[in-house]
């Protein structure tokens, strides 16, 4: 028998085999459209429920009125942020990545959606790793009436998980995107606007570390900060000072725009906080190349509230880096971390006296502020190679202004540019205000272009 007789059958066999292989390759891909046509599901949750681990759910253009809960590794991909809309009106969240009830959850991708109108978070991620949230619009969430900032560790009205996996302060109820106990995740290319706050990373259920927030636009979130890294009491702990917090550490906030946030109640462009129910830990984070303008508590605010002055354990707010940001036109800080006017960067221990050590402040361009860099902490703070262009106070020790009981800190502010070659106090230059501030030598030329409003990667 010649082999030629079998050639057509062999070719057909290869074709059949290729088809089987192709079907196997796409077996984990499901689709969603509003009509449920062409073999697709009509709701996103139905497709997620029928997905296999590491599968893909493609969501076609349309508006989907639902809350989506994800408890397995998968990719949830919309057609584009202006085409695939999750409208969570009357529901707790738009998307909930639930590692709290699904331990070990990892490898979830959420991309290409508008998520809007949820009562609390637009997107909530709890106790998960390797999560990617990219190229979405997270708009006009936090719809529950009565949201207000009281500073209480619980009390978000009706919020699912309040006291379980969300021991946050009442002013942080919801938000556009909340990462709790989240590890090695990426938030990139999102537009976040019209929520109570923008992005919140906290630690109620576990340590939140090694996350990257980059190239997001966070704008006009009126109640709280644009971007927040905040240490909160761990689940199951109790007052007066709760258990040691898990920690928010080794996160990077890079090349974002955070503008016009927190102007109603008070919130910074980027906030590094412990909540006053310590001992908290927000340490070794990097805030780099962001544009931070028009926010309610300054461009960058670092607050610790408890500590030795109250007979309490100190917070750990060590080793945070504030590098190469453009900061302008923000408002004054307030309460126990107050500043005498609008402020660019505020490093502040409040009344508690927890020393803030190892902070790096360098390469920033700060302008249109009453105080470019304010400091109140019983430790040495180093700030070098910045352009201090507010024309008023370049560096201030505000400990006495805050009526703190421990005012033993110092500021090494050598090698900054103070707005003119003559240095602090020169004609047209910013000044130094307060005791124990070193500012010699200073720079005679700016480190950057003071007319470059795109400084900070934008």
Which residues are CB-neighbours of 13 under 8 A, at least 6 positions away? none
**Can you give the pLDDT at residue 4?**
36
Confidence check: pLDDT of 149 > 90: no
CB 153 within 8 A of CB 93: no
Least confident residue range of 33-37, 157-161, 172-176, 302-306: 157-161
Q: Indicate whether 9 pLDDT > 60.
A: no
| pLDDT, tens digit, 9 for 90 and up, residues 47-101 | 999 999 999 999 999 999 999 999 999 999 999 999 999 999 999 999 999 999 9
- Is residue 285 scored above 60 in pLDDT? yes
* Average pLDDT score over residue span 132-150: 85
Q: What is the pLDDT of residue 22?
A: 37
- pLDDT at position 87: 98
User: Of 266 and 395, which is predicted with more confidence?
Assistant: 395
In sequence order, which residues have a C-beta less than 8 Å from that of residue 449 and are 6 or more positions away?
455
pLDDT at 21: 38
Is there a contact between 228 and 256 (Cβ–Cβ < 8 Å)? no
Token couple for 432: 């130094």
Report the SS3 class of residue 48.
Answer: helix
Q: 126 pLDDT band (50/70/90 cuts)?
A: very high
pLDDT of residue 3: 35
**CATH classification number, 79-438, choose in 3.40.50, 1.20.81, 2.160.20, 1.10.3470:** 2.160.20
Spatial distance between the Cα atoms of 304 and 108, rounded to a whole number of angstroms: 33
pLDDT, one tens digit per residue, over 385-401 is 999 999 999 999 999 99
| Domain boundaries, given as residue ranges, for the chain | 79-438
Residue 167: C-alpha distances to residues 55, 147, 260 (Å): 33, 15, 26
- What is the rounded average pLDDT of the residues 305-324? 94
Mean pLDDT of the chain: 89
Q: How many helices (H) and strands (E) does the chain have?
A: 2, 40
Burial class (CB in 10 A: 0-12, 13-18, 19+), 25: exposed
Phi, psi (deg, nearest 5) at residue 52:
-90, 160
According to the model, what pLDDT value does residue 26 have? 47
> How far is the C-alpha of 231 from the C-alpha of 280, rounded, in Å?
5
Euclidean distance between CA atoms 193 and 259, whole angstroms? 10
Q: Is 288 helix (H, G, I), strand (E, B) or coil?
A: strand
How far apart, in whole angstroms, are the C-alpha atoms of residue 212 and residue 186? 5
pLDDT of residue 457: 36
**What pLDDT is recorded for position 5?**
33
């Amino acid at each position: 028998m010649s082999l030629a007789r079998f050639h057509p059958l062999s070719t057909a066999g290869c074709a059949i085999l290729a088809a089987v292989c192709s079907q196997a390759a796409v077996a984990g891909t499901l689709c969603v459209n509003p009509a449920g046509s062409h073999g697709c599901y009509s709701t996103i949750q139905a497709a997620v429920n029928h997905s296999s681990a590491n599968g893909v759910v493609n969501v076609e253009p349309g508006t989907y009125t639902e809350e989506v809960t994800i408890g397995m590794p998968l990719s949830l991909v919309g057609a584009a942020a202006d085409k695939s809309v999750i409208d969570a009106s009357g529901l707790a969240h738009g998307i909930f990545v639930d590692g709290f009830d699904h331990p070990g959850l990892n490898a979830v991708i959420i991309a290409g959606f508008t998520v809007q109108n949820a009562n609390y978070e637009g997107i909530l991620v709890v106790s998960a790793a390797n999560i990617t949230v990219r190229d979405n619009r997270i708009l006009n969430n936090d719809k529950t009436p009565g949201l207000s900032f009281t500073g209480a560790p619980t009390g978000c009205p009706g919020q699912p998980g309040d006291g379980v996996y969300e021991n946050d302060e009442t002013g942080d109820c919801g938000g556009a995107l909340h990462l709790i106990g989240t590890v090695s995740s990426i938030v990139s290319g999102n537009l976040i606007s019209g929520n109570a706050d923008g992005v919140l990373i906290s630690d109620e259920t576990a340590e939140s570390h090694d996350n990257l927030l980059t190239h997001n636009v966070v704008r006009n979130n009126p109640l709280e900060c644009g971007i927040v890294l905040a240490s909160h009491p761990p689940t199951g702990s109790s007052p007066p000072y709760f258990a040691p917090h898990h920690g928010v550490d080794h996160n990077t906030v890079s090349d974002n725009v955070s503008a016009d946030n927190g102007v109603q109640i008070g919130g910074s462009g980027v906030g590094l906080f412990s909540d006053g129910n310590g001992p908290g830990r927000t340490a070794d984070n990097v805030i780099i190349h962001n544009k931070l303008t028009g926010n309610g508590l300054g461009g960058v605010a670092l607050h610790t509230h408890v500590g030795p002055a109250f007979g309490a354990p100190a917070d750990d707010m060590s080793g945070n880096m504030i590098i190469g940001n453009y900061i302008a036109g923000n408002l004054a800080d307030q309460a126990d971390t107050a500043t005498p006017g609008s402020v660019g960067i505020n490093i502040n221990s409040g009344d508690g006296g927890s020393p803030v050590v190892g902070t790096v402040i360098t390469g920033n361009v700060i302008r249109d502020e009453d105080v470019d860099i304010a400091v109140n902490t019983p430790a040495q703070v180093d700030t070098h190679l910045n352009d201090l262009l507010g024309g008023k106070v370049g560096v201030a020790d505000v400990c006495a202004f805050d009526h703190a009981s421990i005012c033993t800190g110092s500021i090494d502010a050598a090698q900054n540019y103070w707005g003119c070659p003559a240095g602090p106090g020169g004609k047209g230059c910013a000044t130094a205000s307060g005791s124990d501030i070193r500012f010699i030598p200073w720079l005679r030329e700016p480190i950057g272009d003071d007319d470059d409003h795109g400084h900070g990667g934008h």
